[in-house]
Structure 1
Amino acid sequence: MSEGYLSGRTALVTGSTQGIGLAIARALAGEGARIALHGLIDADDSTAIEAEIREAGAPETRFLNSDLRDPAAIDAMMDALADWGGLDILVNNAGIQTTVSLKDATPAIWDAIIAVNLSAAFHTMRRALPDMAGRGFGRVANIASVHGLVGSVHKAPYVAAKHGLVGMSKVAALEYATAGSKTSGGVTINCICPGWTETTLIEPQVEARAAEFGGDRDKGIASLLAEKQPSQRTSDPSEIGRLAAWLCHPASHNVTGTAIPVDGGWTAQ
């Protein structure tokens, strides 16, 4: 049941046109935040997503289509929110992945994955955190991955980026630990580390594994889960959305510098 504890707050969720990002935007909207959405889609699709997020409870929405590989475009995106008074909540969710062996990973693959999954979060945090500290309240939720905690074959650029995101978030949490107060809510920076979650990002791996079972998608998913995730259950994006919203609650003021797995026991092994 919504408490409306984010009423009057402003949130930016990158990569929020589908999957985990959209679920987080929906959850934050449900608690009353106005939402800046982000993605690389056409105007008709962005209009529909904005309508969906307003229906979920956001009093205002805005859509930004900045290319997160470009630091200047990120600066322009952050500048575009100045008339909203700056950010109270920043969710760095946008991510890309290419499954490729280390020897076959090209410089272009490396550069793109590092830019979107790691460098973009640096650029947004660099801009947002000082203002959050000045107001005494701020929440940064960086969507990492179990691959920010453990490695897997054929994912060197992605694993490097996600490990870097976890490390950078810990540093930011330490640097801003004393900002604000219990009363104001403080400034916190955390990572959420999903395991197998039903999103388009994992579809190439699902399809590859399903091909081993004559195209049976369910068997392909079951095989992936059996290999890594002890619960044998995937997560739904809405579950990640609820966790992100909880991290933005005033009561979470002392939850900072964490990397929270949502992985069915994957990283407990």
Structure 2
Amino acid sequence: MKGLEGKVAIVTGGGQGIGRALVLRLAAEGCKVAIFDLSPEAGEKTAKLAGDAVVQTWQVDVSDFEAVQAAVGAVEDTLGPVWALVNNAGWDKPMPFLTTTPEFWDKVISINLKGNLNTHFAVAGRMAQRGGGRIINIASDAARVGTSNEAVYSACKGGLISFTKSIARELARKNVLANCVCPGPTNTPMMASVLGEGADAEKWKDAMVRGIPLKRMGEPEDYAGIVAMLASDDGAYITGQAISVSGGMNMV
């Protein structure tokens, strides 16, 4: 990809799963990458996998406004001006909506929606002042088609898509571009924890695969190329988009 050498990128939730794949791809493209993750151990493991690339970890709870502000300042002091913000951190525990509680809603919203507002507020203004930057938000096809037992999560991801489009309009004249990447079902530690093990888990997985034209679940690496492209000069005329990367599961 063009124009990524030496650029600074923040990847939230970069310690495992999709986030790890995104960190490793951006590092391979020449970026200096800051991982924001609740688990510094997971972040350090990702950093080691990046070899000689510049990858550093900050222990950050994205739902904590002050912590995000402080961490972004530390990244710029240490690595330099942030060019790309990749909002990947997320959490959910699938269950029927009518069995959930307001406390559960608050947790899902704090991480999956408010957390993104916090990172945007901390980074986007800096980008606008400098006259350039890229924001890539990892949303979900759950936002576009709905997902049983993930109503609140789907609402957050739908809100994230709308928020991204609004920010893209507000910041376009400052050359700050904002887009969403929408994964489908993906083999990640989070998905494994949701599905569990055994025959029932395999039935769930088989049912998901049957709905995917390419007849396989996504792998974390499937999203790395589009994220790197949107962060690079090759994505300089793309903003306000929600791009589905789901093996053809969603073709709208």
Structure-2-length-normalised TM-score: 0.92
Amino acid at match of 1:99: P
Q: Which runs of 5+ in 1 are unaligned?
A: 180-185
Aligned to 2:163: 168
Determine the C-alpha separation between the residues in 1 that align with 2:122 and 2:212: 36
Secondary structure of the structure 1 residue equivalent to 2:35? strand
Secondary structure of the structure 2 residue equivalent to 1:165? helix
Determine the C-alpha separation between the residues in 2 that align with 1:163 and 1:222: 26
1:193 to 182, 186, 192: 182
Secondary structure of the structure 1 residue equivalent to 2:243? strand
Secondary structure of the structure 1 residue equivalent to 2:173? coil
Runs of 4+ in 1 over 4 A off after TM superposition: none
2:224 to 218, 227, 241: 241
Offset at residue 42 of structure 1 (A): 4.6
For 1:55-78, what per-residue CA distance to the aligned partner results, in whole angstroms no more than 9, with x for missing partners? 1x63x2221111122222212222
Offset at residue 136 of structure 1 (A): 2.5
Determine the C-alpha separation between the residues in 2 that align with 1:48 and 1:159: 30
Determine the C-alpha separation between the residues in 2 that align with 1:47 and 1:22: 11
Which entry has the higher C-alpha Rg, 1 or 2?
A: 1
Maintained 8 Å contact 1:86/1:128:
no
Matched, 1:207 2:196: yes
Q: Give the direction of change, closer, same or farther, for the CA distance of 1:46–1:233 in structure 2 (3 Å limit).
A: closer
Maintained 8 Å contact 1:170/1:190:
yes
Aligned to 1:36: 34
Amino acid at match of 2:233: P
Maintained 8 Å contact 1:4/1:32:
no
Q: Give the direction of change, closer, same or farther, for the CA distance of 1:67–1:205 in structure 2 (3 Å limit).
A: closer
Aligned to 1:27: 25
2:12 to 11, 14, 18: 14
What aligned pairs does 1:60-79 form with structure 2 within 5 A after superposition?
60-79=54-73
Amino acid at match of 1:7: E
Maintained 8 Å contact 1:229/1:265:
yes
Maintained 8 Å contact 2:24/2:46:
no
Determine the C-alpha separation between the residues in 2 that align with 1:198 and 1:16: 15
Offset at residue 120 of structure 1 (A): 1.0
Determine the C-alpha separation between the residues in 2 that align with 1:8 and 1:207: 40
Aligned to 1:51: 48
Amino acid at match of 2:29: E
Determine the C-alpha separation between the residues in 2 that align with 1:205 and 1:153: 13
1:90 to 66, 85, 110: 85
Q: Which runs of 5+ in 2 are unaligned?
A: none
* Structure with greater contact order relative to length (CA < 8 Å, sep ≥ 6): 2
For 1:204-248, what per-residue CA distance to the aligned partner results, in whole angstroms no more than 9, with x for missing partners? 44337x533xx6x3x54222221x323222121112011100111
Offset at residue 46 of structure 1 (A): 3.8
Structure-1-length-normalised TM-score: 0.87
